[in-house]
Every structure is written in C-alpha cells, then in structure tokens.
Structure 1
Amino acid sequence: MRCDIISVPDLDADSIEQWRQNQLQNPDLCSPFFSVGYAQAVAKHRSDVKVAVIEYSEQTKSFFAFHKLSRARGAPLGGQISDYQGIVGPTGAPIHTPSFLKSVGLASYDFNHALQTQPTFAQNAYWQSDSPRIDLRDGYENWYKGRAQETSALKTVARKKRKLIRELGELRFLAHDPDPDAWDIFLEWKRAALAEQNARFILDTPWLMDVAKTIRDTKTTDFAGMFSTLYAGDRLIAAHFGMRSHAALHWWMPSYDASLNRYSPGLVHLALCAEDADARGLSEVDLGRGTQRYKREFSNASRQLCEGSLERPLSIPGSARGIRKLTQKGLNRFGSNRSAELGKRAMTRALSQGRV
C-alpha cells in the first residue's frame, strides 16, 4: 500500500474521476458527505484540509479527506457538521492503523459518524449508532404505503397538510429557493429554535457559514446544495438546507415557523422533499443520526455508524485516546446507559474530539 498526501485543489482530473467512480460503485458511499464536491466546498475555506490518496495498485485508488490540526491531530472533514466519515474506496481489509497514520503525518484521528462496514473504523470504535433513512428504491408511493401500515404519523401529516391548505392557502414547494430573504428567515428560525434549547447554531461559526453558502450555490450532476422551502399562499412556513449526491438527499438543517407548530409544517415539508427526491431519481433521503420520533416514524431503513479513534499508541494524543477507549468500553459494559452516554460526552469535550 502506498499513501500520498495532497491538498484538494491538487487533485487531478483522473483522481477526481476515480473518486466519483468509487462513490458510484459502493451504495454505502452514496451520501453527499463522500462526494468530491463536499471536499472541494470545505477546502475552499480551510487550508488544513488534506487528502490521503491510498494506492493498492496502479488501477485502484482510495481517498480519505480530513483536517490536519495542531499536535498532529486529525478531524473529520467539516468538523462538527460532518454526518459521515470513511474512506472513499472499496470496502475491504482494515488498514494497519499506526502505519497509515504515520504515512499521513497524524498521531490520531477522531471519528463519530464512520461507516461500520469499513473495518478500519469498526475495529477502532467504542460506540455504535445508526442513521435512519427513507429508502426510495421501490418508489415514493411504496414507501408511503409501507410506513402508513406501520405508523399513523403519515396519515396525521396528510391531515395537517389539508388543514394548512384550507386555513392558510395553497402550498407551494420549491426544491431550491434562490430568494436571499428566505435564507435569512431560515437562519433566524434555526437560531431561535436552538436558543430555546440553550444551544448555539453551528453555522454562526464564520467559516462554516461560508462552507454552507458554497454548498448551497453548488449545482452539479453528482453534488448539489438543496435549499428547499414551503409556502402557504405567499407565506414562508418551512425551509430546509441540505445537499444531495447522485443518489441521496441528506436531511441536514430543517426549520419552520414555530407559530404554526400545530400544523407540523416541518413534517409536511419533509414528506414533500421525499416525494421530490424520488421524482429526481434519488434512492434515499438520509435523515441523519438521531432518535427523534419523526425519524423513527418516517424511516424504513438505516445505515450503521460508529464512533471512536485511530491512534499511534506511543504518541501523546494517541495515548490519551487509548485510555479513553478503555474507559469508555468499561462504562459501556458495566455502567448504565445514561452513565455511558454522559461519560462519552465528557471525554469527547475534554479531548476536543471531532472539533475543528
């Protein structure tokens, strides 16, 4: 195995095409987070983005994009906004971690949304989770019928949709809304909703806002930003900022007019986004990691993820992460679910894992 480190702008046409083909050939890599367009959007605003080009033979290359931080620490591409991590290439035997990290100049690499199907990450994980999905391979109508048999949620959403039309006016869905006023209202709603939870809006970090705007304005066949909106009459009632690849829409940052909560405008919008995704020939809407009720009710599939770290054990960052792994595995085995979760959060904060 040979590994070269380059910057994203230095990817040549052949490498970009190989990256695209790797993604097209592996359904587990269908998320837009694995698209070369996402790497290009982040790298436009961060000089610390690197790509490991892993060569198994002259015909086979894999790609691994990451942030190279101080003290030889590696972080997921996009930091806190990254909902997927992994190597864009064939799924196979695990890479020898210390040798790989040494070749890319890292002492450690933290991951929190890595694919469990990739042994390199699964074997170095201390936590498992999943990302619920709306599988549209059999079409929107079949998905809808299947979920309607399992839960009354979609029938409730359909009833509220009719009420919206009756009381506020005809609905108008825009798959991508270029109106800057709509974008500003979306941001205002999102900030207000998070403030109620004493949480900070991640896009208020300037470089992440720049990345989001670059993604929003990108429109290619294999990668595009999707700022969709829903109007009742002339009134904006819901908005969502996400992105799509050749096959998947990622449900990323939804928001809605909180004064209309009784109509569930966000869920009405999600159902319309799923219908639009099917019409565009996409095979899934990825709802992102989480246990929210609506994700359980809308999803009919999931993708398994894991959280952990790759480390060189004799380095200072690597030693700290090795100790963290042993501690977390102990909590997972002998502690309560709550103590294990609280311990995970505390140690993640202490080590600033995944932060850029």
Structure 2
Amino acid sequence: IFHHSELFASIPPTCLPIVYHPNYNITFMGLEKLHPFDSGKWGKVIHFLKEEQFVSDENLVEAREASDEDLLVVHTKRYLNRLKVGIYCCFFCSTLKPPVFFHQLLVYFMPSLRCLEALPESGSVSSGGGFHHCSSDKGGGFCAYADITLAIRFLFDRVEGVSTATIIDLDAHQGNGHERDFLDDRRVFIMDVYNHNIYPGDGFAKRAIKRKVELEWGTEDSEYLQKVELHCEGALNELRPDVIVYNAGTDILDGDPLGGLSISPQGIIRRDELVFRAARRRGIPILMVTSGGYQKKTARIIADSILNLHLQGLIGADGSGSGPSAE
C-alpha cells in the first residue's frame, strides 16, 4: 500500500507536455546573483517559449510540490532533517540558508510522469530538474534533492508496465547521485557522457555506469555528436527500457565556466534531437530535465531546442496539446 501523493494528477488534453512552476526560480535577497548557477534560468526558458507563442500559462503542466512522504521514497529522514534545520546546504555549498529556500528546490518536475502516461510514444520536458549529484543521503554540486531517482522509483512503484528505465545523462558532469542510488539495481541502465577531468570524479559511483563515455577538455561538436549518437543507439539496443530519463545539461556549451567542453548552441539542439529520435523510433516515452548550464545564454538555447523538438514532431506533435488525459 502506497502513501497518498499529490504528485500524480490528471492532465487536461489541452496541455503541452512541458512542466513548470514559478517556484523553480530562486531568489534570496539578491544573493543568488553571486552564485554561478542562473537561478532564474527556468523562468527565462518559459519566457522565451511564450514569446514564440508556443506555450501559455493555460497549456503548461503546473508542477506540484513534493511532500515529506514523497521524498522519503528516496531520502533518509536524517538527510531531510538536516536540510530543514539549515545545517546542511548543497546548493550554495557552505553557505547556510533557511529551509524555505530548499523547499523551492523540491522535486517539482514529478508531474512529468503524467505526461509519460499520457504519451506512451512521445516525450515530455521539465524546464527544471536534473539534480544528478544528489543521492538518497547526500547532496552536492548545487543539488539538494534526488529528483531523477525519485521519478524512476515512483514509476516503478505506481505505473503499471514500467519495470525498467534508462538514464541518459549528457550533462558535462558525471551524474554520481543517481549512480549511487541505482548501483545494484539491474532495472536501471545508466549511460553517462561527461568531462572526466572535472567534478565530481566519483570512482565508486562509476561502477553503476553501463555505458561510460569520458570526454577530454574542449571536445567539439563533431566528436561529441558522433559519440552521443553511437552510444545512445547502443544503450537502447542493449536494453529496451520502459522509460527514458534524459538529463540534458547545457553546461557542455563552449565557454561554460564549469563544463570545460566546446559544444555550439546548434550542437546542443542537435544532441537533444538525436536522443528524442532514438526514443521515438523505439516507441519509448522520454522525460527531459534541463540540469546544469552556467551561462546566461543557455536559457535561450534550451528554449530553441524545445521549439525544434516540437517542429520535428517529437513533443506536442498534435499541435494542440499533450494527447489524451491520464486518469
């Protein structure tokens, strides 16, 4: 018997499979401007999509806040208590912040699961999420909650027909959080493509990676896209999962202060299309989360990529909404 959760909700058929909540955007007396992460990035993505008249407040899926019971599906009580009392911080590292700050970083992307149920052969996008350095009892790398782990465990527990999952992690950094969580779980296949010279260098977590692609400093479009396509196809051929969670970090962008790679905006858009096409050819639902990206221009690139996915018929393909409502 599972606890009651508000994370699942019926989605009107007029909604696009794009999840957002204004609380994705974090402010704290202006101090957020001192941090390398653009804490307003997610709102900017939606702003650009509204400018293009692709989304509106009426056709977005509004994310819901996770309860403590929801979070305990993954996290330990000890870890959650440390966040609540403000003695532990993994978003601003050693800087202490009140508990309300952390709760703005809750797993708001979970309603994307409804998009997956409503679109058995299509894709959905959360404009936020992708906190891939957080595991059940430890945060890090600006990540306070293990949203990828929680999404997959909810799917396994509550959605009939979902018993295997593939994580395709294309953020510039190794996704050590979900790797630690699924280290001994054969239901989850992890592909991770990352700059091996940078944070976190978690050798223990690497044991969970089934397809490991370690990149060098300054890797450019041609090599990168070739490797992504080759290994994405290989991963999905090796295990055909019931669902894909795609961690689409934009910190691979040339000039990113933390990623160390040299991928162009066009390369990022092409990358996302490659992954979605691989999922579509196999009829596997895919959920994209946006993860890292530490330049002001990344919001525009994410928006352009979402628009391209729509133009290619890979999300919101019917032109009106997400498809049939999931009850």
User: Relative to total residues, which structure has the larger strand share, 1 or 2?
Assistant: 1
Query: Same fold, TM exceeding 0.5?
Result: no
Q: TM-score scaled by structure 1? A: 0.25
Larger Rg: 1
Q: TM-score scaled by structure 2? A: 0.26
